[in-house]
Amino acid sequence: MAEFLTSTDEFMWSLGEDPVLRSTIVSLMILERAPEWDLVVERFERLTRVAPRFRQVVSPTVPPLPARWEEHAEFDLDWHLHRVSAPQPRTFPVLVNLAEVAMMTDLDRTRPLWEVTLVEGMADGSAALLCKFDHALTDGVGAVALAAALYDELEVLAASEGSKRPSGSVAAQVLETIRHPLTTAATAFDTAVSIYRAARPIAGPLSPVMRRRSATRRLEILEVSRSGLRRAGDAAGGTVNDAFLAAVTGGLRRYHDHHGVTVDQLMTSMPISVRGPHDGIGGNRATLVRFDVPVGEVDPMRRIREIHARTMAARGEKALAYTQLIAKALNVMSRGYVGSELRHVDFIASDVPGSPVPLKMGGAPIRSQYAFSPTLGAAVNTTLLSYVDVCAIGVNIDAGAIPDHDVLRDCLTAGFEETLSVHAAGGGPNPTTGGARPRRPHGAPRRPRRG
């Protein structure tokens, strides 16, 4: 049955009209060896049953009605699944290059918004699964849940898309207003102010360096110890996410220093999940909150503490309950205005928890996983995806804003080293001997700089 897109899903889908804002998500799964192809096909067939969005297309309607999800009349799994041999020299950098091309190439909007390529024959015997899908299908947390359909060790835990819905959200708000009019009136002003803060126009970008925007993307990867980040966060009274964000901002400070520019604050956009227990695993159940971060704070412990205070304030915003309402308002605004506002954000940072245990797919052990989220108009998006005790940092760089992506990579590496050293001050092991130093993935030599 056809179903209207939610306001947030439609917002993400509509961004695809602009290559700079395109909401494509790309992931790389590295396997110790190539899985059996028949099993790969079987697992993705199962995924499309768990999440019917992967068999549907977006069908525009007559405004003001939102677009609709409709079953693709000629859905063919073979159109979405591909199998190729690794290009020469069959080393890790060629996989990153393939991911870059996927990030810059639009999906066929007349078909379901995803495709997957199995890359076989790597020089070290490994293989890779390159996945690409539109953000309208699901958010990062939803994607991790959907991936359960692919793994050998896990049964499909998620219910079918749309099988459960939050009960009576609008009606419940009306009843609450009738039953407690004074209490509701007392909080209405605070809620309105919170919504304004979430959707207000902002000046930016704040960076005097990362200002130009383009459709060219460069991808970089770092790996750090999750326990190392956790110890750093604990030592400063924060969280893993606070330590992650502090490391990214430390790297961005160094990048500006490299260009001879001093910057005190940058505007970030951070996804916050509002996914509830009754939500399906497809669709977007996250909202982007914007706030400035203390890039100029050179002490990593104080930076973690300040970021913790600001992220806690962002998570406490009453506007989070009105994500769909805000998205609906954005959907009726001029695309030019919305695009301009998105370009005012300096960077995006997203923390996505993955599996804490090793996994296999089609009998092949999964070595590592990386996620690259869209820039959505920002200069760079850094996405942390954890796997066992490794945090893989996928860095999606707008080459117009940051043409020297190798410099940014080295600055981010230094930012993580600085942040990981915080736990030593709190009594933990030195990061240079405790396995917490940032590193490149196995088999990933430094890539030559490309303009």
Is residue 370 within 8 A of residue 290, CB to CB? The reply is: no
382 vs 156, 250, 351, CA distance in Å? Answer: 29, 13, 9
Q: What percent of the chain has pLDDT over 70?
A: 72
Of the candidates 436, 383, 429, 381, the one whose C-alpha atom is nearest the C-alpha of residue 405 is 381
pLDDT digits (tens, 9 = 90+) for 367-416: 999 999 999 999 999 999 999 999 999 999 999 999 999 999 999 999 99
Give the contacts of 54 (CB within 8 A, at least 6 positions apart): 47, 48, 112, 114, 137
* Same-domain check for residues 7 and 138: yes
* Same-domain check for residues 133 and 247: no
Task: Report the alpha-carbon distance of residue 269 to residue 381 in Å, rounded.
Answer: 9
* Same-domain check for residues 273 and 418: yes
Residue 295 lies in a domain: yes
Q: What percent of the chain has pLDDT over 90?
A: 56
Tokens 């509002």 correspond to what residue?
A: 274
258 included as an active-site residue: no
- The model's confidence at residue 79, banded by pLDDT at 50, 70 and 90, is very high
* Same-domain check for residues 233 and 112: no
Of the candidates 137, 119, 147, the one whose C-alpha atom is nearest the C-alpha of residue 24 is 137
Chain centroid to Cα 15, Å, comes to: 15
Supply the angle between the helices 323-331 and 7-14 in degrees, to the nearest 10: 40
Residue 400 lies in a domain: yes
Chain centroid to Cα 339, Å, comes to: 19
Domain boundary (132, 149, 166) is at: 149
Burial class (CB in 10 A: 0-12, 13-18, 19+), 104: middle
116 pairs with which residues across the strands? 81, 131
Candidate list 72, 80, 82, 135, residue with the active-site label? 135
Task: Report the alpha-carbon distance of residue 63 to residue 78 in Å, rounded.
Answer: 34
Q: What is the model's pLDDT at position 147?
A: 82
What number of H helices and E strands is found in the chain?
A: 14, 15
Assign 3-state DSSP to the chain and report helix, strand, coil percentages, each to 5: 40, 20, 40
Q: What is the model's pLDDT at position 398?
A: 98
- The model's confidence at residue 70, banded by pLDDT at 50, 70 and 90, is very high
Residue 39 lies in a domain: yes
Residue 26 lies in a domain: yes
Higher pLDDT, 199 or 365: 365
Q: What is the model's pLDDT at position 251?
A: 98
pLDDT digits (tens, 9 = 90+) for 148-181: 888 986 543 343 333 333 333 333 333 333 333 3
Domain around 225: 201-425
Q: What is the model's pLDDT at position 414?
A: 97
Domain boundary (86, 116, 149) is at: 149
* Same-domain check for residues 29 and 124: yes
Domain total in the chain: 2
Q: What is the model's pLDDT at position 194?
A: 43
Residue 218 lies in a domain: yes
- The model's confidence at residue 8, banded by pLDDT at 50, 70 and 90, is confident
Residue 193 lies in a domain: no
Residue 132 lies in a domain: yes
Q: What is the model's pLDDT at position 114?
A: 96
Domain boundary (107, 133, 149) is at: 149
* Same-domain check for residues 233 and 377: yes
Residue 231 lies in a domain: yes
Assign residue 68 the CATH number of its domain.
Answer: 3.30.559.10
Q: What is the model's pLDDT at position 136?
A: 84
* Same-domain check for residues 109 and 220: no
Of 51-65, 87-101, 113-127, 185-199, the poorest mean pLDDT is in 185-199
Question: What is the dihedral sign for C-alpha 272, 275, 276, 277?
Answer: negative
Is residue 134 within 8 A of residue 22, CB to CB? The reply is: no
- The model's confidence at residue 144, banded by pLDDT at 50, 70 and 90, is confident
Please check the confidence at residue 123 and state whether its pLDDT lies above 70: yes
* Same-domain check for residues 266 and 143: no
Is residue 318 within 8 A of residue 194, CB to CB? The reply is: yes
* Same-domain check for residues 412 and 284: yes
Q: What is the model's pLDDT at position 430?
A: 38
* Same-domain check for residues 386 and 280: yes
Give the contacts of 250 (CB within 8 A, at least 6 positions apart): 300, 303, 414, 415, 416, 418, 419
* Same-domain check for residues 23 and 126: yes
Assign residue 317 the CATH number of its domain.
Answer: 3.30.559.30
Q: What is the model's pLDDT at position 425?
A: 54
Q: What is the model's pLDDT at position 176?
A: 38
Q: Please, what is the average pLDDT of the chain?
A: 81
Higher pLDDT, 443 or 346: 346
Task: Report the alpha-carbon distance of residue 137 to residue 142 in Å, rounded.
Answer: 9
Q: What is the model's pLDDT at position 162?
A: 36
Of the candidates 274, 314, 272, 273, the one whose C-alpha atom is nearest the C-alpha of residue 293 is 314
Q: What is the model's pLDDT at position 274?
A: 53
Q: What is the model's pLDDT at position 174?
A: 30
* Same-domain check for residues 118 and 240: no
